[in-house]
Structure 1
């Protein structure tokens, strides 16, 4: 058996990362993609390794000859790599395909070693490695029957989201027998190139074969084995996370907060949303109006503040709508002068927006981190602060101060010219729910130094919509 690696492409979507080298020279956590593949193939005791090169081929060839002088690596050059696609690169290697059974791989893949074993040790002579469809996957899909026969290849143009439960993504690793390559695949490949040209993909040939006859290729599911295809900088970062050492994986993954859906099987236990809202009817309505929502400009701030005011029963001039509470927190912190009083532990978004020297911190000093309005008034009575933050209920401690006590705290702050910031993003989950809110015209009007922040994500289960409100009768703020 031999291996053929297609490595002629330019990797345009990787921008500066492939400016002087082809994609397989990219490093993932300090190791080049090509080194990972060669290391694994070397352990298989193959007859030879053939690499089809094109873009920046001199660099790749020189590197491999220096790094692996004892290996039998042969090169096939694609001189028109910038005008063709991988169908032509594979056609240039046709003589090798006719000489031996072949493992066919693309060079922009990263995978754990056992993935190759799925191909090598499969009893089937001709196979395509596949993985169950996940939302991050792009490219050619297949459907297979219960006997692992590939029923059809599904190109991007025929992709249907309603059918994804039956889809498998090709991993771009194949095993072809010499007989299959010679008698079946290459005749179709030649005819396809003559009819459609060189700027196509070799998997299209397999699709045609399934349409007119059984193409004799089985689909072998790699199950939960790790792999990733690297086409752009986001793919590279995700691959670095998936294949990082266990001690670094969490740190790398946390840089992708909000994009965890790209990590198959990951459960986020810090996902603080209401699982009972939005209602199914609301979801249906949004789906029905999706094209309008996508193609039309949204309402301006005047309409947004009117709607938020109507919904929360607050005067329009008292309320500001933000791109999530995060945008409002950033803007509010930038407009504060002086020091901020804050209780730890708390939601870090606020204190992280100012310097450490501008934080005056109160530590409750008890096992459950509980505190009352009186505790805050006693502690901060002699402190130099211009604003006091109360997250209520607090995150992560869950500490809660009742509405009458908060109003008393607002009175105390007003007498000392201290701006009171109350974040009540979780107030709907308190015992009396929305009855505890400070989003009230009478309260806001009486205490112009009071700011009430509320994230819509938490109570209403719509973090992807990025909505938050800030209410205050301080209209100049």
Structure 2
């Protein structure tokens, strides 16, 4: 068996990175892609490796000749690489295709060894390696039957985004037997090039062959190992966070703060959302209006404040909408010139935004605290504002409504603004109607500012929608002056517009969530190395008690099982103990996480 690598392209989308070197010599974490690929192929004991060069071909040959490879490497030059596409590069290697069974690869791929091993070890002679199609992918897409026969290579005309669950993306690694190349691929390659020219892709030939009754080409679905195709700088950035050493991967991925849909198969137990809302009917309504929403300006801040007030039953001049709660938190906290009381551990955004934070460090072994504890700590301290997240993040600590009202009264008597973050309150079932988000309470406590992240409880973090409510017009004025006229997008506005119709669905989703959280708690509780902390939020905080570090557990979950959890070992206020925070997802996902933890900790 031999390998043919197509490496003639210019890689224009990588801009300056490919001005003076071939695309395949771009480094991912310090290792050129071609070096990594050749080393992996060298492990496969092939008869030869053929590289079709073009752009900066001499530099590529010089570099490859310096590598310690045991497999012979030969080259074919594509002198017209600027005006042709990869169909011509493969056409130039047609004689080599007829010499041996071939693994065909594109040089802008990066993958783990298991990816290559799977297609080589598969006994079927003619294969396209494929992976489930993801919405961010581009390139060749196929339809398969239950026996993995390739039914169709889809064109742009055939492609329907509503059907992507049934699509597979080619990984751009193929295996052709010498016989297949002789009877099918090379004859069709020659005919296609002659009839339609050389500025095409070699997959077009496979598309034609797939129409034959006896085309003899199957797919093998990728089972293990990561892969990525690098076409632009964003691809390179993502590839560097995937193909790094196991110790760095967790840190690099965590610092991205989202965007994980571009990481194939990643299960995100780090970021916190509602797994059961919006439901399919709600999403269907948004999809039906997507074109109008994306091609229209959203309304200004006044209109969106009105929509939010209507949804919450509040006065329109007492509420502000934000591009996520973070957009509201920063100007709110920075509007205070004097000390702001902040709990630790808790959501760090409040402390980091404050110029004069006075921290109440929770020191109880289980990180529980009461409203009275807060009042006792701050009784002899001068504060302009006090922040409480209830239920708290990451501990899940919950203070009953009557006690929060006592804290509001305490602050009122001392002319302190109480900032109450209720982003997780909808997940609490400790009492009926735990929220303070009501017109009556806001009117009584003008010193109360309520913050709510719509992302977490309503399951729409991509819309970036947050709310602030307060009956003090001065607070509203100070925050509002920092907000632009258009601060939320049309999709977020439409969400506010139609939510009222789905209020009952939302309550049903919360009930479903409650049973799912309880089931996950019981499942994790059976792992003797974990100590669980009761939570009224959509996550569970776990302490590792057997000597393993939280970072080790988080790294193992990510590197072995492609599961991301929150490592709390560096969280202010939690130093010296080992905690992870686990989001509550669907029962199927939760089961997968629990099984992974059991295998790691057994």
TM-score, structure 1 normalization: 0.91
1:342 shift after superposition: 0.8
Partner of 1:239: 239
1:398 shift after superposition: 2.3
**Conserved in 2, the CA contact under 8 Å of 1:206 and 1:215?**
no
Partner of 1:161: 161
Alignment deviations for residues 115-167 of structure 1 (CA, whole Å, 9 cap, x no partner)? 22233333333222222334443311222334443222223442223433433
Distance 1:354 1:91, change over 3 A: farther
**Conserved in 2, the CA contact under 8 Å of 1:341 and 1:389?**
yes
Bigger CA drift: 221-230 or 430-439? 430-439
**Conserved in 2, the CA contact under 8 Å of 1:140 and 1:156?**
no
Partner of 1:388: 386
**Conserved in 1, the CA contact under 8 Å of 2:10 and 2:18?**
yes
Question: What is the DSSP-based 3-state SS (H/G/I as helix, E as strand, rest coil) of the residue aligned with 2:250?
Answer: helix
Question: What is the DSSP-based 3-state SS (H/G/I as helix, E as strand, rest coil) of the residue aligned with 1:211?
Answer: coil
Partner of 2:414: 416
Larger radius of gyration: 1
Partner of 1:439: 437
Distance 1:412 1:148, change over 3 A: closer
**Conserved in 1, the CA contact under 8 Å of 2:53 and 2:77?**
yes
| Residue correspondence of structure 1 range 21-60 to structure 2 within 5 A | 21-60=21-60
1:109 shift after superposition: 1.0
1:434 shift after superposition: 7.5
Alpha-carbon distance in 2 for matches of 1:325, 1:97? 58
Alpha-carbon distance in 2 for matches of 1:69, 1:432? 65
Establish whether residue 223 from structure 1 lines up as the match of residue 223 from structure 2.
yes
**Conserved in 1, the CA contact under 8 Å of 2:324 and 2:465?**
yes
1:403 shift after superposition: 3.3
| Runs of 4+ residues over 6 Å off in structure 1 | none
1:277 shift after superposition: 2.8
Question: What is the DSSP-based 3-state SS (H/G/I as helix, E as strand, rest coil) of the residue aligned with 1:256?
Answer: coil
1:456 shift after superposition: 1.4
Establish whether residue 101 from structure 1 lines up as the match of residue 101 from structure 2.
yes
Alignment deviations for residues 175-201 of structure 1 (CA, whole Å, 9 cap, x no partner)? 223333233222211222233222211
**Conserved in 2, the CA contact under 8 Å of 1:428 and 1:434?**
no
Alignment deviations for residues 18-71 of structure 1 (CA, whole Å, 9 cap, x no partner)? 333222112223322111111122223333221112222232222112234875
Partner of 2:214: 214
Alpha-carbon distance in 2 for matches of 1:235, 1:204? 24
1:361 shift after superposition: 1.1
Alpha-carbon distance in 2 for matches of 1:281, 1:46? 53
Alpha-carbon distance in 2 for matches of 1:209, 1:167? 19
Alignment deviations for residues 443-474 of structure 1 (CA, whole Å, 9 cap, x no partner)? 33444433210111233222222211111233
Question: What is the DSSP-based 3-state SS (H/G/I as helix, E as strand, rest coil) of the residue aligned with 2:352?
Answer: helix
Bigger CA drift: 253-262 or 359-368? 253-262
**Conserved in 1, the CA contact under 8 Å of 2:39 and 2:69?**
no
Question: What is the DSSP-based 3-state SS (H/G/I as helix, E as strand, rest coil) of the residue aligned with 2:345?
Answer: coil
Partner of 1:451: 449
1:10 shift after superposition: 2.0
Alpha-carbon distance in 2 for matches of 1:459, 1:391? 14
**Conserved in 1, the CA contact under 8 Å of 2:49 and 2:73?**
yes
Distance 1:127 1:458, change over 3 A: closer
Distance 1:83 1:415, change over 3 A: farther
Distance 1:129 1:436, change over 3 A: closer
Partner of 2:425: 427
Alignment deviations for residues 359-379 of structure 1 (CA, whole Å, 9 cap, x no partner)? 211123212222222222221
Distance 1:44 1:277, change over 3 A: closer
Bigger CA drift: 200-209 or 283-292? 283-292
Distance 1:131 1:310, change over 3 A: closer
**Alignment match of 1:378 (pick from 376, 388, 396):** 376
Alpha-carbon distance in 1 for matches of 2:430, 2:71? 73
Partner of 2:129: 129
**Conserved in 1, the CA contact under 8 Å of 2:115 and 2:224?**
no
Structure 1: which 5+ runs fail to align?
none
**Conserved in 2, the CA contact under 8 Å of 1:139 and 1:155?**
no
